Amino acid sequence: MKQLVFSAVLCFAFFSSFAQSKKAIAYRKESEDMRKSVWAWENPKFKVRDIPQKYANASKIIIAHHTELIADSKSSIAFYGLGFGAKFKQDLTEIVREVVKLNDKSAIAEYSELSFTQFEKRSGFYGSDKTSTYIGVRIIKPNGVIKEVNADDIVLTKDAANEKQAKLAIPDLEVGDILDYFFATARNTIDDMSTKQYNLILFADAPVLSYSFHGQLAKKYAIEYRSYNNAPELNVRKNDDGTIVIDVVKNDIPSFETSLWVSVSRQLPFIRMNIAQGFKGIGSESLGISKPGEVIKVTNERMAIEEKARTYSLDYYNGYLIRNAKKEYERLEDLAKQKAKQKGVNYELLSNEEKAAMLYYTFRFDWLLKFSIYRLADKINIGYREYDEGYNLVLFFLFKTAGLNPDVVVCEDRMGYRVSESMNGTDLLALAYIPSIKSFFSVRNIFDVPFTIPVAAEGAQNTSSFSFEHRAKDKPAGVNNLTEIKTGPDVPVSKSSNNSRVEKLRLSITSDQSLVSVKRTCTLKGHNKHAVQEKLLLYEDIMNYEFKEFNESTTFLDEIADEKGSKKYIEEVKNAFAEAKKKQKDAFLKDAKNYFEQEITNMKDFGIDNPGIRHTAPDFIYRSTFEMGGLLKKAGNNIIVEIGKIQGTPFVIKEEQLKRDLDVYMPFARSIEYHVELEIPEGYTAEGIAALNTKVENETGFFTTEATQNGNTVSIKIRKHYLHNFESAKNFEKIVAFVNASAEWANAKLLLKKK
């Protein structure tokens, strides 16, 4: 199925219409009118049928891609305060049309069904935005016959009150067909003066013969833009009425690798526009706001840093200096001292490192984990919640209150924009940092621990350290200028052993010789932990663990029961926890099925040995016992153990991905190991053990297997390590070497021969 995403990614806050089914008739009429309009476009690029010979073997070829973006000049203004809350009526239409030649069955499968969000409705900040989305689809057969798909025959896949998602089947597609389709979005928006990001994407996983964009925006708008990775510049002009006209044309774009270890922001061509309603009042310059009608190519390499500094100055002023805000951090420090006392520790005698850890855990316990009956469902599912970097600033405030003299370190996202190419403060990351112990702190989820570095920040250089003055400078918008910017520290990079997955598997064959009994213990470290912790760890278990760590005098559930007024809801809480406990078994079963990709049955003896939520015991360790199918085959009286399948379906680099010019951006250095012990059944001998040994190793990583026999046990140690989070393109073949070795070992077999 083709999940369509506008190639021009419009990051506006869209809010939709189509509130009632009686409007369906009106929608169908609008949809019909839109299709007639788009199909009438006179663009010769859409009529091209001759494909260059160099693309003859491509699975699909995008013959033409065109986007129209029209934002009119009508406005109605209602002022709030000093006008910063002015609301403007924006009529916005975007049409994206694409013509694609389908050359094989893979392309047919990809485009056999189109899905999109047809209608969406939600409230806006100052009002409501109304959006309608239309689609048109035509199939052009090799003989020139055009068949239009009835795009009104939409099947709703979600019919919620505030969102309607739909899909459209594309029947009778055949190899050699050309698919001509469009999405059109008409919006009637009411918006504030916030910046909206609009990206022109000039890459695809297929060759593009013709790409074009045409935009017309009213003179009230201001645009800042930057072209990335050899993308062309905007062609900008203005009409007599001041309307901003933008065109981009690019022909013969080769296909790009878009999915395998790629940083889009650093490697693939696109143009990024920040679109906002201009403002030319007092303080606009200090606030970094462009004037109406301006179209500015961004060349300021400090633009994002400066915006980040302004934002954090305001946060520091409002969140720490005024309105008794500091009292909250003083309360947290007092609570940390109390927690230390409960553990039999004198807080004042702790080192800076120990104080920072105690403050961190106290903050997490009191702000994030603390139980509330009014947020019971949120607490039950707290493992899935991701926190924004505002909490890192909270840590900074807390450490500052405690006299640890912290900084805020601002750095680039290693998979995102470089600092010198960033356009918004939100492009950059911010971490709390204590120079005296050279340690970083962040809170992305409840499983994070002190002294760890987010994967996105690893290896960052050319960082900036923010500290803050205590008085606003005597200039307009003075509270925006409290930040002192210094050169920051380099951010370390973790090793493959720091981000490991170690599967200890004790295997035996069931009496009927059809299944393998498995006793599993899995240990996850570093960046490998979170994705599994959120699925297997229960809120109740986390709280009980933290109660024990803080040496609380009661259990978590007992404390809830002792709270005033708890009688009316304690049973509800117990039932919710019990239901979560029941679901945990299913989570363990699903985890095993998804990881080993074999049939898993008879799950039992499952549990968490260590939750991995303290830096003093950081590994996440869980265990289970189950039976696994798919590994055994009978060969007469003998048994073939397809032991290579124990690693599931290994990662395979596709043939079309083997030729690579782009550098390699791995998520992080990491390792996967299997420590397998297979019990040989009585009356059998093991053959082929030596053939299980292999070793492929180079400077990018390695895959090794070591197999030995001791008595009736065959021990196999499988190790695959990606040693770095980045490799140059010239080393790609070396990565392929050990990755392919792992894939080939999936076919490894062991013969258990009947005596």
Q: How far is it, in rounded angstroms, from Cα 6 to Cα 14?
A: 14
Rounded mean pLDDT for each run of 10 residues along the chain, 755 residues in total: 38 36 74 88 91 92 92 42 34 85 92 61 34 82 91 59 64 92 72 73 93 91 93 93 93 92 95 81 52 87 90 90 86 96 95 98 96 88 92 96 96 94 93 97 96 96 87 54 89 97 97 95 97 96 95 84 76 91 95 96 96 97 96 94 92 89 96 97 94 97 97 96 97 96 95 93
Query: Total structural domains in the chain?
Result: 3
520 and 437 share one domain: no
Q: Assess whether 641 and 711 both reside in one domain.
A: yes
Residue 166 lies in a domain: yes
Last residue of a domain, one of 299, 323, 351: 299
Do 325 and 243 belong together in one domain? no
Assign residue 621 the CATH number of its domain: 2.60.120.1130
* Inter-residue contact 428 to 419 (CB < 8 Å): yes
Residues 283 and 336 in one domain: no
Q: Closest Cα to residue 190, out of 284, 296, 80, 311?
A: 80
Specify whether the CB–CB gap between 439 and 615 falls below 8 A: no
Query: Is 49 within the bounds of a domain?
Result: no
Neighbouring residues of 88: CB distance < 8 A, sequence distance ≥ 6:
75, 76, 77, 190, 191, 220, 277
pLDDT at position 189 is: 52
| 167 and 190 in a common domain | yes
Distance of alpha carbon 114 from alpha carbon 157, whole angstroms: 12
Same domain, 396 and 505: no
**Is residue 269 located within the same domain as residue 407?**
no
342, 449: one domain: yes
The span from the first CA to the last CA of the chain, in angstroms, equals 52
Residue 555 within any structural domain of the chain: no
Q: Is residue 109 situated within a structural domain?
A: yes
Residue 471 is predicted with a pLDDT of: 56
State which residues form the domain around 227: 2-44+57-299
Confirm whether 96 is domain-assigned: yes
Q: Is residue 7 part of a domain?
A: yes
Instruction: For 174-186, write each residue's pLDDT tens digit.
Output: 999 999 998 887 6
Q: What are 526's two structure tokens?
A: 């570093």
Report the pLDDT value the prediction gives residue 269, as an integer from 0 to 100: 95
420 with 506, same domain: the answer is: no
Residue where a domain terminates, one of 257, 275, 299: 299
Instruction: Evaluate whether 429 touches 457 at the Cβ level (below 8 Å).
Output: yes
Distance, in Å, from the CA atom of 270 to the CA atom of 232, rounded to the nearest integer, reads: 8
d(CA 474, CA 481): 10
Q: Are 34 and 149 in contact (CB under 8 A)?
A: no
d(CA 706, CA 330): 56
Query: Which CATH number is 139's domain given?
Result: 2.60.40.3140
Q: Do 234 and 379 belong together in one domain?
A: no
CA distance 491 to 431: 10
pLDDT of residue 164: 53
Q: At which residue do the structure tokens 């899995």 appear?
A: 522
Same domain, 294 and 254: yes
* In-domain check, residue 469: yes
Q: Are residue 500 and residue 435 in the same domain, yes or no?
A: no
What would the DSSP string read from start to end of 289-351? -PPTT-EEE---TTHHHHHHHHHHHHHHIIIIISTTTHHHHHHHHHHHHHHHHHTT--GGGS-
| pLDDT at position 484 | 87
Last residue of a domain, one of 459, 487, 515: 487
Identity of residue 494: S
Q: What are phi and psi of 76, to 5 degrees?
A: -130, 130
Produce one character per residue of 540-572: b if its CB has 16 or more CB atoms within 10 Å, e if not.
bbbbbbbbebbebeeebbeebeeeeeeeeebee
Query: Count of CB atoms within 10 A of residue 650's CB?
Result: 18
Residue 610 in any domain: the answer is: yes
Contact between 207 and 58 under an 8 Å Cβ cutoff? The reply is yes
